[in-house]
Amino acid sequence: MSPQNLRGELKQYWSQLGPGLTTGAADDDPSGVVTYSAAGAKYGLQLIWVALFTYPFMAVVQEMCARIGLVTGQGLAANIRHHYSAKALYMVTILLFGANVLNIAADLGMMAASARLLWPWLSVELMVIVFAGASLALQILVSFGKFSAYLKYLTLVLLAYVAVALSVPLDWAEVVRHTVIPSITFSKDQIILLCAIFGTTISPYLFFWQTAQEVEEEILHGETSIAARKRVVSEDTIRVMRRDVWSGMGFSNFITFCIFAACAGTLYVHGGIDITSAEQAALALKPFGDFAYILFVVGIVGTGLIAVPVLAGSTAYAIAESFGWHYGLYRKIKQAVAFYTIIIAATALGMMANFLHLDPIKGLIYAAAVNGVVAPFILFFVVRLSGSRHIMGSYANHRFLAGIGWMTVVIMAISGAAAGLSFIA
């Protein structure tokens, strides 16, 4: 293939990436970065296998969500409302709201703590307000087309960890061995951390966001009615979506792999540590010397500016769809007042939680663990909806996908239960 043809192929490939890529990047939010960093810093390469292990489960679930959005022309909560009892939907929505607000609080806290590494004279509270305001401005004042493009290009900040992993001295034979051969020590701390890893990788807010963004993309292309969106779905549409989703989840898990490797090659080799501050987490980037803190701040703030809007937005989609309100980031605020009110409320609650002096590191770990507990409840509906011939027609799950979907439900349920028991014990 000539260089010109290769550039053309890559350009076309990049143009087809959208909701799947940004959803995958949102998965590597400050909660994810710190959770993976904590695992790599304390246990080295022992848990790096989760980056490979979770990939097919994560990708299959997100593909199911995307397919639901494309085939039905509606979001996940709207589909649950139409096909299940209102009580089931309200339970799911309450769980999602609580988990997302906790996650927003933790992400904003970590963004603020990270920024203070460069500007220590600024208060955490002020930085939390600034980042919360920036997140709201992006969702409310920027058009959906520009907003989605911004999210897409902001995913590139995650490449900093790829550079780190390639810069530190690692025994790559050992890295590969630990990646393909799972290892776990059944201690309380490791079980909680493992649940947090699963929770931050297969996160409930991503299910609602993925489904809603597939719908929003169709609306952006002129398919403004549910009937019109149903008519345009085709095998080609599904193929392009599948490439986007599997690429996005692959990118997300590759970054997870690199964060594990970077922390194993820097923090763990000095005896293994418990990460208790943003400064300690930033030391994973020390191969870059004086630029370490700058790269860390750019990475955390950049991923936070992807994740916080996604967290608040997914909450608003779920609640607005549950009650049949007008919703969508393609609408102006006056056209969907209740929808944008939920975005503002979720962000404001997350912001105010930081005024209670939330420990950002502990908050991020616990937020990820809560996601692990919430996920199986929502996954149940995802697998049921995407597997229904009545709802999905010929695009329903085939047997293999359904098997992976139900296996994901079981894994997340076991993970959540184990973490709950570990907290009690």
What is the mean pLDDT, run by run of 10 residues, along the chain of 425 residues? 68 75 80 81 89 92 94 90 82 83 87 83 88 90 74 74 78 90 80 77 87 85 72 85 91 90 78 66 66 75 86 92 87 90 94 80 66 82 93 90 92 76 59
83 exposed, middle or buried (CB, 10 Å; 0-12, 13-18, 19+)? middle
Check residue 257 and give its pLDDT.
92
- Name the residue ranges covered by the structural domains of the chain: 19-424
Contact call for residues 339 and 110 (beta carbons, < 8 A): no
How far, in Å, CA of 375 to CA of 135, rounded?
25
How far, in Å, CA of 38 to CA of 36, rounded?
5
Q: How many CA atoms lie within 13 A of 3 on its CB side?
A: 0
Amino acid at 81: R
Q: What is the pTM of this model?
A: 0.88
How far, in Å, CA of 134 to CA of 127, rounded?
10
Check residue 64 and give its pLDDT.
95
Instruction: Say yes or no: domain 19-424 is CATH 3.40.50.970.
Output: no
What H or E segment, with its residue span, contains residue 388?
none
pLDDT tens digits for 88-140?
Answer: 788 778 878 888 898 898 889 888 888 887 888 888 889 999 999 999 988 88
How far, in Å, CA of 280 to CA of 41, rounded?
10
